[in-house]
Amino acid sequence: MKNYPQNYIDGRWVDSKGGRKHQVINPATEGVASEIVLGTAEDVDDAVTAARRAFESFSQTSKAERVALLQRVMEEYGKRVPDIAEAIATEMGCPISIAKTAQAGSGMGHLANALKALQAYDFKEKIGDNTVVREPIGVVALITPWNWPMNQIVAKVAPAIAAGNAVILKPSEQTPGSAAIFAEVLDAAGVPKGVFNLVNGDGPEVGAALASHPDVDMISITGSTRAGVLVAQAAAPTVKRVAQELGGKSPNVMLPDADFARAVPLGLAAAFRNVGQSCSAPTRMLVPRERMAEVEQLARDAAAGLVVSDPRSPETTHGPLASRAQFNRVQQMIETGLAEGARLVCGGPGRPAGLERGFYARPTVFSAVAPRMRIAQEEIFGPVLAVMPYDSIDEAVHIANDTVYGLGAHVQSRDLGAARAVAARIRSGQVHINHPAWNPHAPFGGYKRSGNGREYGVEGLQEYLETKAILGYDHEEHA
């Protein structure tokens, strides 16, 4: 792995002003993958100054100019997909086949989505004798996580720039390599200097400095609910806009008429995607009580087909968890499930057989999980599925909504009308019926403590715009 000891500020790579070195650990080997230098509040000041200066001119560019810019970014991004995938596989342990497709590939999907939304968007709307204008909000700070590093970076950067903003990105210090390559992509595409800036760092130093900075107009964070609260608190004195995509504990409601032979394996795969390290993972499977034994066997069989091994192996379906801290958290929660009296269907504590090194966890399924158990309420962020019984549709909906989260949900049924009726009652930002394909145009975001604001699609573009009413302005005359 290449080291990236510098920040990207005002169109060039520069040394940090007093930052300390940080080692990035390869979770498959527990060895050092690379080294970066964590930035400081002074580095944030430099990046904000550059972004503020760039915003003055970039905010005045035409839609056509920004469309052409995004097209160049897409062209350059395509050249670097193998490098991005390699960085993600090394730094977070994602199997290389998935790193090339779902991980690195999602970046291209979000670029295409932002381009399409920009091309179709009308920034002016005539209302009577008046005009409503939507303008870029200004300097935008973006804080992104380690679990889907490129997905979340591009889902924020692309629409923010499409809207005409200048941005400062703070990627996770656990996965800095792919972010640095993305900076090289934007540089090669000719993004004007200062429009995109990257400052490596941790939350307490760089994240806090961005959130509290008086010249940052908006901050968007994807991370834990705890981190989102801290960012919102730091941002409050300057009354900046805060968009948050935070934790989740998503339900997967199996209605009595569902095709269980299909839905249960797909549900387990969705819950364990990215080794369960997804905020919207459907990790609570709600099942009619009389079908519990059948579901347990289907889940056990599906888990047995997973291959937990070296991310470099093409046969691997699931690599290690991303860090020692995450491994310890998952082990603790598995032990908690056992102590709470949940029935262990498969998996359990410890590493899979034959894996003595690396942060590998056993794919684990619990059944007979009660709604008040910690494994039913807390986000585990690992390959742990809780199968929960219900006796009526009303009870299933109640259990589905009975958490502080509301990010995603799934409903399975042969009757689309029945599925839609249940989906309408679930309080979450997205509901998937019968495992549809991923759609980057569908808005994504949370209810309750899963956050606020939306990403993807037109809604993702609008998140980075201010609304201005111009009274008495003749839209047609000045178009």
Distance separating alpha carbons of residues 385 and 254, to the nearest angstrom: 14
Catalytic site residue from 245, 379, 455, 463: 245
- Starting at the edge strand found earlier in the chain, the sheet holding 465-470 runs 124-127, 130-136, 465-470
Counting every residue written for the chain, the total comes to 479
Phi-psi region of 139 (alpha: psi -120 to 50; beta: other; left: phi over 0): beta
What lies within 8 Å, CB to CB, of 209 at 6+ separation is 40, 41, 44, 45
Cα of 60 vs its chain's centroid, Å: 30
**Tally of CB atoms within 10 A around 478:** 9
Which of 463, 464, 462, 444 minimizes the C-alpha distance to 125? 462
Whether 288 and 389 have beta carbons less than 8 Å apart is answered as yes
Tokens encoding 379: 């986000």
Q: Is the dihedral of CA 332, 337, 338, 341 positive or negative?
A: positive
- Residue pair 143/210 in contact (Cβ under 8 Å)? The answer is yes
- CA atoms within 13 A of residue 468's CA, in its CB half-sphere: 12
Side chain identity at residue 14, one-letter code = V
Nearest alpha carbon to residue 368 among 376, 360, 356 = 376
Q: Which of 91, 205, 279, 455 is catalytic?
A: 279
What gap in Å lies between CA 253 and CA 248, rounded to an integer? 15
Known active-site residue 279: yes
Structure-block tokens of residue 468? 């201005």
Does the active-site annotation cover 245? yes
CA distance 416 to 437: 16
Q: Which long-range contacts (CB under 8 A, 24 or more apart) does 372-376 make?
A: 373/337, 373/340, 373/341, 373/342, 374/333, 374/336, 374/337, 374/340, 375/333, 375/336, 375/337, 375/340, 375/342, 376/249, 376/284, 376/403
Positions marked active-site: 245, 279
